[in-house]
Amino acid sequence: MLEWLRTPAAIVFVFGIVIFVHELGHFIAAKLTGVYAPRFSIGFGPALFSHKWGETEYIVAALPLGGYVRMASREDESMAFLEGGAEKPTGTVGGSGAPPIAPEEKKPRYYDPNGMAPFGPRPVPENRWLESKPLSARLFIMLAGVTMNFLLGFFIIAGLYISNGEVVLPSREIGAVLAVPGADSLFRNLAAGDTVTAVDGRSVESWNEVVERIATDSGNVLRIQTNRGVTDVAVRDSGIFSREQFAGVLAPYIPPIVDRVVPGHPADRAGLQRGDSITAVNGAPVRGWAAIVNRIESSPGKPLTLTVWRGDSVKQIAVTPEASPGQNPITLADTVLGKIGATRREYGTRRALPVGTAISEAWSTTWASAGLIVHTLRNLVTGHQSIKGLSGPVGVAVQSGEAAQQGWASLLALVSLLSINLAVVNLFPIPILDGGQILIILAETVKGGALAMRTRVWLFYSGLAAIVLLFSIVTFNDLSSFVKRIFHL
């Protein structure tokens, strides 16, 4: 029973915490600036649970694909039905006054004869409308949600770094040399199996030190000394020939032992099992996990035969990697990679990180994640990446279940990624999103008055149509992937 409940519980946890934190940001900002906020809802549609505390009704609604904070506004009556406010209030939340009290049977839930609309007959004072606040306060309210999501992602990543520390790879052996377009000859003297003994004339004791030296040392020439000789590489300050990029060219040797097989993916269907040690691909010997990943990623949709040791016997396992959108780790160019759904066994020892270092690493990782999302969105807009690779709520739900099976660390990592993703996407200039609302606020400030109601409604519905269209596309992608996985298409 607990196993059966784990996936739905993980879905509720992932979506719930990300949405709650986002709306909590808007709500806190509204309260701090004195804007009246009569409703705080997680989800849309009919209320499953509600409770009024103070002047706000807190709701958990039936459709958990978002949330909202309803604030006092001059447009409240025209927009309320889109925020679960289809009930007929006893008065407007805006400033148009309060009509006579409705008959007893039509009184709203939590009716208060001395309360403000929509709970009572008193109109909301104009100084508590959103529009009555200065530009800085309104921008603060609109940006508070994405700020909270960004901070949530950062604090989770920092917590994981502090609690888990970092993995130290004791081996200095090269597991693979990744291809660098236009610069393959620079590393012709390096090969899998070589042991790095020094970088830029300084000895190294672990692979962590190898990466650190390559990425952070100064100088226009990178010198890598191995047990077979010395390789000199000219480097630049930025681009694919920078030290930071070259730090990812050399992959460490990690034993090619499978730790986990993701249910429903090619490795699972092919019969790969935890503990299998992969020694060859299509009959060609491979040494180390990185070399195997290179072969699989370069073969999307192409049948492969893996030679594995299982116990005391050797088995041949036929598997076809599924095509998945990805990026070249060196150039960051979008490409299609092969994936089979298998993870490696953890290798090395864990070492605690000082709190300051953990926070610094978390900050860099958070911004790197945000930058990757921006890069992907830019490629979608310019047509350099297909929308077929996007995942939606169904895909996130599937990932939530898989992450829950791997433990709390994986589940929290997914929450952080989704939270950062939501922060970035919400800044897009689409009227129904925070970014669109910010543009409207700025436009009204420049204009010196509110946009016409017809214009606001048109902008709102155009934004809603764009979101519904995108939601439909990503849901179709999710369901197509789900069907293919079930029926092995």
Which pLDDT does position 76 carry in this prediction? Answer: 54
Could you tell me the sign of the dihedral formed by the alpha carbons of 385, 386, 392, 395, in that order? Answer: negative
**pTM, rounded to two decimals:** 0.73
On the question of pLDDT at 98 being above 80, the answer is no
Q: SS3 for the chain, per residue? A: CHHHHHHHHHHHHHHHHHHHHHHHHHHHHHHHHCCCCCEEEEEEEEEEEEEEECCEEEEEEEEEEEEEEECCCCCHHHHHHHHCCCCCCCCCCCCCCCCCCCCHHHCCCCCCCCCECCCCCECCCHHHCCCCCCHHHHHHHHHHHHHHHHHHHHHHHHHHHHHHCEEECCCCEEEEECCCCCCHHHHCCCCCCCEEEEECCEECCCHHHHHHHHHHCCCCEEEEEECCEEEEEECECCCCCEHHHHCCCEEECCCCEEEEECCCCHHHHHCCCCCCEEEEECCEECCCHHHHHHHHHCCCCCCEEEEEEECCEEEEEEECCEEEEEECCCCCCEEEEEECCEEECCCCEEECCCHHHHHHHHHHHHHHHHHHHHHHHHHHHHCCCCHHHCCCHHHHHHHHHHHHHHCHHHHHHHHHHHHHHHHHHHCCCCCCCHHHHHHHHHHHHHHCCCCCHHHHHHHHHHHHHHHHHHHHHHHHHHHHHHHHHHHCC
Which pLDDT does position 388 carry in this prediction? Answer: 63
Identify which of 116-130, 167-181, 387-401 has the greatest average pLDDT: 116-130
Which of 140, 120, 128 shows the shortest CA–CA distance to 95?
Answer: 128
Which pLDDT does position 489 carry in this prediction? Answer: 45
Which percentage of the chain shows pLDDT scores above 90? 36
Q: Give the pairing of strands 258-261 and 277-281.
A: unpaired
Scan for tokens 């605690």, then name that residue: 352
Domains of the chain: 145-165+353-489 (no CATH), 168-252 (2.30.42.10), 258-339 (2.30.42.10)
Which pLDDT does position 317 carry in this prediction? Answer: 95
For residues 272-288, average pLDDT: 93
Least confident of 115-129, 231-245, 298-312, 376-390: 376-390
431 or 379, which is more confident?
Answer: 431
On the question of pLDDT at 4 being above 50, the answer is yes
Q: Residue 244: CB partners within 8 Å, gap ≥ 6? A: 215
Q: 121-166: per-residue pLDDT in tens?
A: 888 898 999 888 999 999 999 999 999 999 999 999 999 999 988 8
Which pLDDT does position 399 carry in this prediction? Answer: 73
* Chain mean pLDDT for the chain: 82
Confidence at 215, pLDDT banded by 50, 70, 90: confident
Task: Report the alpha-carbon distance of residue 197 to residue 143 in Å, rounded.
Answer: 50
Task: Report the alpha-carbon distance of residue 91 to residue 325 in Å, rounded.
Answer: 52
On the question of pLDDT at 276 being above 80, the answer is yes
For residues 412-427, average pLDDT: 91
Least confident of 40-54, 301-315, 473-487: 473-487
For residues 247-254, average pLDDT: 86
Which pLDDT does position 88 carry in this prediction? Answer: 37
Confidence at 460, pLDDT banded by 50, 70, 90: confident
Confidence at 259, pLDDT banded by 50, 70, 90: very high
Which pLDDT does position 1 carry in this prediction? Answer: 44
Least confident of 77-86, 248-257, 339-348: 77-86
On the question of pLDDT at 487 being above 50, the answer is no
Scan for tokens 């958070």, then name that residue: 366
Which pLDDT does position 237 carry in this prediction? Answer: 67
Which pLDDT does position 17 carry in this prediction? Answer: 92
On the question of pLDDT at 79 being above 90, the answer is no
Which percentage of the chain shows pLDDT scores above 70? 81
Q: Residue 328: CB partners within 8 Å, gap ≥ 6? A: 335
Identify which of 12-16, 53-57, 113-117, 212-216 has the greatest average pLDDT: 53-57
Which pLDDT does position 96 carry in this prediction? Answer: 38
Which pLDDT does position 86 carry in this prediction? Answer: 35
> Contact 210/197 with Cβ under 8 angstroms?
no
Confidence at 20, pLDDT banded by 50, 70, 90: very high
Could you tell me the sign of the dihedral formed by the alpha carbons of 166, 167, 172, 173, in that order? Answer: negative
Confidence at 482, pLDDT banded by 50, 70, 90: low
On the question of pLDDT at 301 being above 80, the answer is yes
For residues 5-13, average pLDDT: 78
Confidence at 471, pLDDT banded by 50, 70, 90: confident
Confidence at 184, pLDDT banded by 50, 70, 90: low
